[in-house]
Chain A
Amino acid sequence: MSQDYHQMWSDLGLDLDAHDALLDVLSKAYGDIYLSQNHRPETMQYFDFVMSEVHGLRIKELLDEKEQGRKIIGSYCVFVPEEIVLAANATLIGLCSGADFATEEVEQFLPRNTCALIKSSFGFKLGKVCPYLESADLVVGENTCDGKKKAYETLNDLVKNLYVMDLPQVKSNQGRKLLKSEYYRFKTEVENLTGKTITTDALKKGIQIVNNKRKAIHRLSNLRRSNPSPISGLDALLTNQVFFYDNPERFTDSVNKICDELEQRIKQKIGVFPESTPRILLSGCPMAVPNWKLPWIIESSGAVIVGEESCVGERGVRNLTNDSVNTVDELMEAIIDRYFKIDCALFTPNPDRLNHIKEMVEAYTVDGVIHYGLQFCQPYIMESIPVEKVLEKNSIPILRVETDYSMEDVGQLKTRIEAFIEQLK
């Protein structure tokens, strides 16, 4: 890190010893997993920098924004519309939930059999190690799975500014009505928080900024269709993870710079792995920073990940929001339309996801699918079985993996994944 941020962290109420320990682990993991990769695009250096400053410079920027009266809103889910937040001149950031922390304390609040992602969000709060959470003026929870829904009831006692958004579970007219009323309620909440009324121009601008982020990721994803793959799955995942943290415009520029470099690489047939490397689609639960375990095992076992069918990946960025209409209400409708298409496993039934997996297999010339289910994540684990059946019927090899953030199963996972890759060769 470029500076000493201990005073800033201390002002935010972080536990400095615990936080130092966390940063040590994070930086070591980043070195082992990311910096040790070969043939990385040079433009990834920006993301190395972002990661090295993820709790430093970026937090300072947010605090500077706050100083100037801008509000910071934290979220745990891709259903929270960034367009609305930006339109009210506030900043949306993803909150930490990708590592085990303060597990013993967490288990005083949550049952052991809770998924690692939910436990992690509590762990970062209870362990006092998430500067994003502590900087946030509003923390938005959302009723996705039962685990999260119930956990927010408890989190409400731990976080002073929690706001819970309800979400539909069925893609019906009633479902869309619910999403509409919740997005309007959220808009009012954000307006009250910032004291700014959202105008057509501001909302349009918000939509354009977020669409540009998405377009940059779409461009990156398209380039990953090439063989040899010009970028590792780990690096592509990182860009998708940073999507939730970085200043949106700077993020868009940085991803576009990677794409410029990748286009050159593709012309020169430069890849991160040889052309014969089996191509994997990772499908299932989201992977928040620093949850790199599974992609790291996959790419160190002789395969390359060419797509993520995940909230931190294509499920999160698929579809743009229409900005060609001219009133706040019409733009709100466009936002609702866009988000209502998300094929989260919380929906029942959820046939779109299955179709998207098949489409992605074709689009990225995938040799095999690895389905990642976070242990105790019922929606995705339940869906993994029909996903497996349909892919098998289409002669697409699939491996279902259930794991969490701990390292105790790395040996067994490695065996299963290596065997799966041997099967693809």
Chain B
Amino acid sequence: MRCAGIDIGSRTIEIVITEKSKIVDCRQTETGYDPLMQTKKLLKGLSYDRIMATGYGRNLVEIEFDSPTVTEIKAYAIGAKELFPAVTTVLDIGGQDCKVIALFDNGKIKKFEMNDRCAAGTGKFLEVMANTLGFDINEFGDHALSAKKDIQINSMCTVFAESEVISLISKGQSRNDIALGLHKSVARRTISMLKRVTTNGMIVFAGGVAKNPCMRDLLAKLLEQVIYVPENPQTVGAYGASLLAQEKM
């Protein structure tokens, strides 16, 4: 049976088609201002027997495609467990959310934490900061890794941090160094959330921010442990949703 999992996030939409647990197709696009239209475009030409939606836009799909839904928390947990059977903690940093999910041995969710309404410590924060510094978001982490100096950024609020960055620029600090400071501030916040849940065992890092090499590096260094990143970190939620569609009904 072919099952589609669709994850409508704040920044990107992913679709994963599975047969049993094997990924047979995978697509991604920007969410934009009309997620439903984007979803329809993305689904065009794809064949599947069942669909399951997740992500903040899941209810849009639920109505339009008569699709069952699951929260991204459960979807990420299931996806990560399939990819890394020994996983105990899933960290997902996406466009507007940051989540830490602790799992029981059987893959069920033990506990989770998620940021509140504020975008501090999420992909959005990094994106705004990359823009302020004139970096492409896809290269932001590489630039941060080439920093020569440690700069402490104190503000976690996107708005305040932007002012802080601007004042550092005006003091003549190098933008690579500022970039590292910003990554460190997100890493510290992430670690405090991880510690509230658990850092024991295997940590799998997923979501768009997992593509950032500096974030992966900092988390591994500060936690003194290996951080596992799936090959396609943004599709873990869609993959989990499609696996759930396989199981259900």
Binding site for B on A (CB under 8 A): 392, 397, 402-403, 408-409, 411-412, 415-416, 418-420, 422-423
Chain A's interface: helix, strand, loop or mixed, by majority?
helix
Q: Is B71 interfacial (CB-CB < 8 Å)?
A: yes
B73–A408 contact, CB under 8 A? Answer: no
Q: Chain A residues with Cβ under 8 A from B71's Cβ?
A: 415, 418-419, 422
Q: A421: nearest residue on chain B (CB-CB)?
A: B71
B116–A419 contact, CB under 8 A? Answer: no
Q: Which residues of B in the span 31-62 have a Cβ within 8 Å of any Cβ on A?
A: 56
Nearest 4 CB-CB pairs, A to B? A419-B73, A409-B117, A419-B71, A423-B109
B108–A423 contact, CB under 8 A? Answer: yes
A409–B116 contact, CB under 8 A? Answer: yes
B111–A408 contact, CB under 8 A? Answer: no
Shortest C-beta distance, A191 to chain B (Å), equals: 48
Q: Chain B residues with Cβ under 8 A from A403's Cβ?
A: 116
B111–A419 contact, CB under 8 A? Answer: no
- Given the complex of chains A and B, what is the CA–CA distance between A411 and B238 in angstroms? 19
Q: B112: nearest residue on chain A (CB-CB)?
A: A419
Known contacts A422-B109, A423-B109; is-contact A408 B70 (Cβ 8 Å): no
Q: Chain A residues with Cβ under 8 A from B109's Cβ?
A: 419, 422-423
Shortest C-beta distance, B110 to chain A (Å), equals: 8
Q: Chain A residues with Cβ under 8 A from B7's Cβ?
A: none
B116–A412 contact, CB under 8 A? Answer: yes
B108–A415 contact, CB under 8 A? Answer: no
B70–A392 contact, CB under 8 A? Answer: no
Shortest C-beta distance, A418 to chain B (Å), equals: 5
Q: Is B72 interfacial (CB-CB < 8 Å)?
A: yes
- Given the complex of chains A and B, what is the CA–CA distance between A209 and B226 in angstroms? 65
Contact mask B94-130 → A, CB, 8 Å, 1/0?
A: 0001000000000011011011110000000000000
Known contacts A409-B117, A423-B108; is-contact A415 B74 (Cβ 8 Å): no
- Given the complex of chains A and B, what is the CA–CA distance between A422 and B71 in angstroms? 8
Q: B72: nearest residue on chain A (CB-CB)?
A: A415
B116–A422 contact, CB under 8 A? Answer: no
- Given the complex of chains A and B, what is the CA–CA distance between A420 and B73 in angstroms? 9
Shortest C-beta distance, B61 to chain A (Å), equals: 15
Q: List 14 A-B contacts (CB under 8 A).
A: A402-B116, A403-B116, A408-B117, A412-B114, A415-B72, A415-B97, A416-B112, A416-B114, A418-B71, A419-B74, A419-B109, A422-B73, A423-B74, A423-B109
B111–A412 contact, CB under 8 A? Answer: no
Shortest C-beta distance, B243 to chain A (Å), equals: 14
A412–B73 contact, CB under 8 A? Answer: no
Known contacts A418-B71, A419-B73, A419-B74; is-contact A412 B108 (Cβ 8 Å): no
A411–B73 contact, CB under 8 A? Answer: no
- Given the complex of chains A and B, what is the CA–CA distance between A214 and B117 in angstroms? 38
Contact mask B63-100 → A, CB, 8 Å, 1/0?
A: 00000001111100000000000000000000001000
- Given the complex of chains A and B, what is the CA–CA distance between A314 and B107 in angstroms? 36
- Given the complex of chains A and B, what is the CA–CA distance between A423 and B97 in angstroms? 19
B70–A411 contact, CB under 8 A? Answer: no
Q: Chain A residues with Cβ under 8 A from B115's Cβ?
A: 412
B74–A422 contact, CB under 8 A? Answer: yes
Shortest C-beta distance, B144 to chain A (Å), equals: 28
- Given the complex of chains A and B, what is the CA–CA distance between A390 and B109 in angstroms? 19
Q: Chain B residues with Cβ under 8 A from A420's Cβ?
A: 112
A415–B116 contact, CB under 8 A? Answer: no
Shortest C-beta distance, B55 to chain A (Å), equals: 9
Q: B114: nearest residue on chain A (CB-CB)?
A: A416
A415–B111 contact, CB under 8 A? Answer: no
Shortest C-beta distance, B236 to chain A (Å), equals: 15
Q: B73: nearest residue on chain A (CB-CB)?
A: A419
- Given the complex of chains A and B, what is the CA–CA distance between A422 and B56 in angstroms? 16
- Given the complex of chains A and B, what is the CA–CA distance between A423 and B103 in angstroms? 10
Q: Which one, A392, A402, A411, A418, contacts B111 given CB within 8 A?
A: A392
- Given the complex of chains A and B, what is the CA–CA distance between A412 and B109 in angstroms? 18
Shortest C-beta distance, A164 to chain B (Å), equals: 33
Q: Chain A residues with Cβ under 8 A from B114's Cβ?
A: 412, 415-416, 419
Q: A399: nearest residue on chain B (CB-CB)?
A: B112
B73–A415 contact, CB under 8 A? Answer: yes
Q: Chain B residues with Cβ under 8 A from A416's Cβ?
A: 73, 112, 114
B56–A411 contact, CB under 8 A? Answer: yes
Q: Chain A residues with Cβ under 8 A from B70's Cβ?
A: 422
Shortest C-beta distance, B17 to chain A (Å), equals: 23
Q: Chain B residues with Cβ under 8 A from A419's Cβ?
A: 71-74, 109, 112, 114
Q: A375: nearest residue on chain B (CB-CB)?
A: B116
- Given the complex of chains A and B, what is the CA–CA distance between A411 and B115 in angstroms? 12
Known: A392-B111, A418-B71, A423-B112. 17 other contacts (CB 8 A): A397-B111, A403-B116, A409-B116, A412-B56, A415-B71, A416-B73, A416-B114, A419-B71, A419-B73, A419-B109, A419-B114, A420-B112, A422-B71, A422-B73, A422-B109, A423-B74, A423-B109
- Given the complex of chains A and B, what is the CA–CA distance between A62 and B5 in angstroms? 58
- Given the complex of chains A and B, what is the CA–CA distance between A422 and B241 in angstroms? 14
- Given the complex of chains A and B, what is the CA–CA distance between A203 and B115 in angstroms? 51
Q: B109: nearest residue on chain A (CB-CB)?
A: A423
- Given the complex of chains A and B, what is the CA–CA distance between A303 and B102 in angstroms? 22
Contact mask B175-205 → A, CB, 8 Å, 1/0?
A: 0000000000000000000000000000000
